[in-house]
């Protein structure tokens, strides 16, 4: 299953900050490619089963650059449920899951 995340109107604090953003996404191995149109950047994945490390990097990246984190919920699975979903005090929880309850 292919997955695409959208990064809309990313705010960079400087030219170097923008360079570092792209360097960061280049280091996340689950991202198979990225491209953009206008003020939208698309991150492409060939699966919804990514490593915990890559998911943690995406959480930090999306938080840092104020990208809509709700779309990261697509990566929830049984393997990461305990730290990703059940950790309601984590900085990302409300931004990703809001008030959701696991069905």
Average pLDDT along the chain: 94
**Average pLDDT for 42-62:** 97
pLDDT in tens, 64-75: 999 999 999 999
Which of these, 91, 35, 87, lies nearest to 63 by C-alpha position?
91
pLDDT band at 99 (very low <50, low <70, confident <90, very high): low
pLDDT score recorded for residue 30: 97
| pLDDT above 70: residue 101 | no
54 vs 34: CA distance, rounded Å: 15
């Amino acid at each position: 299953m292919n997955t695409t995340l959208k990064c809309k109107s990313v705010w960079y604090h400087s030219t170097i900050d923008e360079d570092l953003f792209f360097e960061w996404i280049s280091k996340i191995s689950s991202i198979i490619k990225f491209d953009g149109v206008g003020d939208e950047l698309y991150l492409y994945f060939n699966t919804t089963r990514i490593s915990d490390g890559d998911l943690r990097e995406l959480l930090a990246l999306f938080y840092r650059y104020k990208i809509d984190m709700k779309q990261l919920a697509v990566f929830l699975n049984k393997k990461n449920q305990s730290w990703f979903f059940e950790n309601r005090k984590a900085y990302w929880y409300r931004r990703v899951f809001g008030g959701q309850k696991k069905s």
